[in-house]
Structure 1
Amino acid sequence: MPYDEELADRLRAALSTTPRVSEKRMFGGLAFLVDGALAVAASGRGGLMVRCDPALADELVARPGVQRMVMRGREMAGWLRVDDAAADDESSLREWVAVGRSAAAGSLPT
């Protein structure tokens, strides 16, 4: 399934004031990178793929529609899948974008 173009447009808008954002097709979706570090993506499986601080993952997956990202049967530390309903309004989407942006920034060398 291709990624949701409308969701990609919403992500572009949410990241429009963030400097040094680029887009790259990966994982069957459209990823948004901040300073070259992946922050959030419109997933090819629907919904969002969001990078997070692994220390916050337990708290974040307690929210409805959020689960740990699983690739090839393995949970990926610091990555979440967020379903469409959990990011259906602009406030929620911007919150998930902020989570991803913060985690991406924290992954960059200083």
Structure 2
Amino acid sequence: MAYDEYLADRLRQKINQLRISAQEKKMMGGLCFLVEDKMCFGIVKNDLMARIGPDDYEKALQKPGIRPMDFTKKPLKGYVFVSPLAIDQEEDLEYWIQKCLEFNPKAKSSKKKQ
């Protein structure tokens, strides 16, 4: 499954501009960006996957172009998919990156397999 390379480049540029230390990891058929060893945001097909946390979840779903992240056919609370039209403008992409970065310190790191 391919992911949007243009969006990946836009995310890399924002990461560099914000001087964020992030790792890229191919997973879930897309590309994820990990901050402090925690999944922060990524790309699945053409959508931005945003880990915003459960507190902002319901409010985020009210915005145009936002839907639950239902990658496994079961919505995962705290994660949303953001459509390409909803992040067409740079300030919109920055908004979602900031939401993810604000939640990241509160997020639990997945346990590493041994």
Query: Normalising by the residue count of structure 2, what TM-score does the alignment of the two structures yield?
Result: 0.87
Q: Which has the bigger relative contact order, CA under 8 A and spacing at least 6?
A: 1
- Any idea what the Cα deviations from partners look like across 1:55-77, whole Å, max 9, x if unmatched? 11111110000011113221101
| Corresponding residue number in structure 1 for 2:95 | 95
| Corresponding residue number in structure 2 for 1:35 | 36
Of 79-88 and 68-77, the range deviating more from structure 2: 68-77
Distance in 1 (CA, whole Å) between partners of 2:88 and 2:106 is 26
Structure 2 letter corresponding to 1:12: R
Cα-Cα RMSD: 1.5
| Corresponding residue number in structure 2 for 1:80 | 80
Distance in 2 (CA, whole Å) between partners of 1:18 and 1:103 is 17
Q: After the TM superposition, which parts of structure 1 deviate over 2 Å for at least 4 consecutive aligned residues?
A: 17-20
Query: Which structure shows the higher strand fraction?
Result: 1
Structure 2 letter corresponding to 1:21: A
Q: How many matched pairs?
A: 108
| Corresponding residue number in structure 2 for 1:2 | 2
Alpha carbons of 1:61 and 1:94: their partners in 2 closer, same or farther (altered >3 Å)?
same
Structure 1 residue 103: Cα displacement: 1.7
Which ranges of structure 2 fall in alignment gaps of 5 or more residues?
Answer: 110-114
Identity of aligned residues (%): 31
Query: Normalising by the residue count of structure 1, what TM-score does the alignment of the two structures yield?
Result: 0.90
- Any idea what the Cα deviations from partners look like across 1:14-72, whole Å, max 9, x if unmatched? 1113432110001111111101111110212x111000120111111100000111132
